[in-house]
Amino acid sequence: MTSESLTYLLLGILIFGFLMPRILEYLQVSMQQQTVPPILADYLTDTKLLEAKSYQKDNFKFKLITSSFTFLLTVFFITQGWFGAIDSWIGGFGFSPLLDSLLFFGLVFIASDILSLPFDYYSTFVIEAKYGFNKTTLATFFSDKMIAYLLSLLVGGGLLLIFLWLIHFMGPNFWWQFWIIASVFMVLVNVGYTAWIIPLFNTLTPLAEGEVRDKLLQYAAKVNFSVKHIFVMDGSRRSAKANAFFSGFGKQKKVVLYDTLLEQHPPEELVAVLAHEIGHYKKKHLKWGMLVSVLEVGILLFLLGQVVFSENMSLALGGTTLSVPLNIIGFTMLFAPLSMVMGIGMNWLSRKHEFEADAYAKETFGGKPLAEALKTLSVKSLSTIHPHPWYVFVNYSHPPLLERLERLER
Ligand SMILES: [Zn+2]
């Protein structure tokens, strides 16, 4: 393929990647019915339903603006050859190719972060605040940013250095060598998530003795699940939205409940939420999820290997000679449709796992308390009651509320 037709191909993919999600979002916001389903009558009022609808519309408009901005900017960068211009400018300093590549990505990262800052700010302090979700102060917002920068610099920068070094010095073998490193890293992050990453942003405290803890432990003992650590996380520092999650394997496994969850649910419902999380563990979903992610990374790295040494890709992006960073940028655009298909597959698997974890909670504890907990969670977070099936198919990692309730209360 000539470099010129490659440029057109990239533009075509970019247009598709911009329009497709917007169409699905449009279908999603346009289709909701305005009546409260009987199953939610005790939880949801017509006013609340309208509020949820308005929250989704605000998010839809916001998404439309941010994605249009990114889309237009990228189109300009491609058609004007700006990616190539930056690459040539850095090349002019006379550093080594490895350092050039590092500088290129450093620059792209800083520029895109500065550009997205006003959007992040607006989403947190205008949209989320309007619906009473935002609890983040300006100080927390910026300290979060700073910690994230430091993490990106140390961890992301380190990984990027290894990655680029392998490409520059190991040639076509780089993909499987980096695949091994990336896989080890992914497992480490998963195991150490609650121990290393969460404490940078939040405070974890062991769940206090009392009725809730007794009931949780009683249930865990009943299903033979040795739980050493149940933590409460101060999620309320940032958002009123509630959540619970689980991380780690073997002896390292930890359950984390948001303080907002503890406040909003009676003990029975909390046990049901824990039962759902234990369901994920017992059905080996965490291991499957990890395996699928590792395979996905392997496939992407292998395909990158087919593009990263192509001179035409560099020329298509306005470069004058073969350039590794230009080819990596080109690769991420070229394979966006494939990433989308993989994302759909991952979401499908995740929804299947959610049903299985619900079924586990129903079998071992009862469907009613979990159904009740899900109703409260969905209503409080203003989630969509009647989502569009196509939107669900592509984007939902969890099945729609009504489908889950139907199975739980069957
Ligand atoms: Zn789940």
8 and 119 both lie in a single domain = yes
- The verdict on residue 275 lying in a domain is no
Q: How many independent structural domains does the chain possess?
A: 2
pLDDT score of 92 more than 80 = yes
297/383 Cα distance (integer angstroms): 31
What are 104-124's pLDDT values in tens digits?
999 999 998 899 999 999 999
90/170 Cα distance (integer angstroms): 23
- The verdict on residue 276 lying in a domain is no
- The verdict on residue 274 lying in a domain is no
Contact 242, 264 (CB under 8 A): yes
What are 259-311's pLDDT values in tens digits?
999 999 999 999 999 999 999 999 999 889 899 999 999 999 999 999 999 99
| Degrees to nearest 5, angle at CA 111 with 13 and 186 | 70
Compute, in angstroms, the gap from residue 132 CA to the centroid of ligand 1: 25
Compute, in angstroms, the gap from residue 406 CA to the centroid of ligand 1: 16
Sign of the CA dihedral running 261, 262, 266, 269: positive
Sheet with 229-233, side-by-side order of all strands: 204-206, 229-233, 254-258, 244-247
| Residue type at position 22 | R
- The verdict on residue 273 lying in a domain is no
pLDDT band at 252 (very low <50, low <70, confident <90, very high): low
288 and 334 both lie in a single domain = yes
- The verdict on residue 64 lying in a domain is yes
222 and 146 both lie in a single domain = no
What are 308-328's pLDDT values in tens digits?
999 999 999 999 999 999 999
340 and 224 both lie in a single domain = no
42 and 169 both lie in a single domain = yes
Compute, in angstroms, the gap from residue 354 CA to the centroid of ligand 1: 5
> By residue range, what is the domain housing residue 353?
3-197+283-408
11 and 47 both lie in a single domain = yes
What are 180-232's pLDDT values in tens digits?
999 999 988 888 887 888 888 889 999 999 999 999 999 999 999 888 788 99
pLDDT score of 24 more than 80 = yes
Helices 174-192 & 157-170, crossing angle to 10 degrees? 160
67 and 181 both lie in a single domain = yes
Contact 241, 381 (CB under 8 A): yes
Residues carrying an active site annotation: 277, 358
292 and 329 both lie in a single domain = yes
Q: Counting beta carbons within 10 angstroms of the beta carbon of residue 290, is it exposed (0 to 12), middle (13 to 18) or buried (19 or more)?
A: middle
- The verdict on residue 277 lying in a domain is no
- The verdict on residue 271 lying in a domain is no
| Degrees to nearest 5, angle at CA 234 with 229 and 240 | 130
| DSSP collapsed to 3 states, the chain | CCHHHHHHHHHHHHHHHHHHHHHHHHHHHHHCCCCCCHHHCCCCCHHHHHHHHHHHHHHHHHHHHHHHHHHHHHHHHHHCCHHHHHHHHHHCCCCCHHHHHHHHHHHHHHHHHHHHHHHHHHHHHHHHHHCCCECCCHHHHHHHHHHHHHHHHHHHHHHHHHHHHHHHHHHHHHHHHHHHHHHHHHHHHHHHHHHHHHHHHCCEEECCCCHHHHHHHHHHHHCCCCCCEEEEECHHHCECCCCEEEECCHHHCEEEEEHHHHHHCCHHHHHHHHHHHHHHHHCCHHHHHHHHHHHHHHHHHHHHHHHCCCHHHHHHCCCCCCCHHHHHHHHHHHCHHHHHHHHHHHHHHHHHHHHHHHHHHHHHCCHHHHHHHHHHHHHHCCCCCCCCHHHHHHHCCCCCHHHHHHHHCC
Q: Which pLDDT value is given to residue 375?
A: 93
**Domain edge (last residue) among 232, 265, 298:** 265
Q: Which pLDDT value is given to residue 392?
A: 95
Compute, in angstroms, the gap from residue 189 CA to the centroid of ligand 1: 19
CATH code assigned at 222: 3.30.2010.10
337 and 190 both lie in a single domain = yes
What are 164-185's pLDDT values in tens digits?
999 999 999 999 999 999 999 9
84/87 Cα distance (integer angstroms): 5
Contact 231, 194 (CB under 8 A): yes
Contact 375, 359 (CB under 8 A): no
- The verdict on residue 227 lying in a domain is yes
Compute, in angstroms, the gap from residue 147 CA to the centroid of ligand 1: 28
297 and 313 both lie in a single domain = yes
**Domain edge (last residue) among 265, 297, 316:** 265
C-alpha distances out from residue 97 to 90, 117, 231, 323, Å: 10, 30, 47, 9
Q: Which pLDDT value is given to residue 331?
A: 96
Q: Which pLDDT value is given to residue 249?
A: 67
158 and 96 both lie in a single domain = yes
180 and 209 both lie in a single domain = no
Mean pLDDT throughout 341-353?
A: 95
38/364 Cα distance (integer angstroms): 27
Q: Counting beta carbons within 10 angstroms of the beta carbon of residue 209, is it exposed (0 to 12), middle (13 to 18) or buried (19 or more)?
A: exposed
**Domain edge (last residue) among 265, 296, 313:** 265
Q: Which pLDDT value is given to residue 2?
A: 87
Q: Which pLDDT value is given to residue 21?
A: 95
Ion ligand 1: residues, CB within 5 A, are: 354, 357
pLDDT band at 90 (very low <50, low <70, confident <90, very high): very high
Compute, in angstroms, the gap from residue 392 CA to the centroid of ligand 1: 16
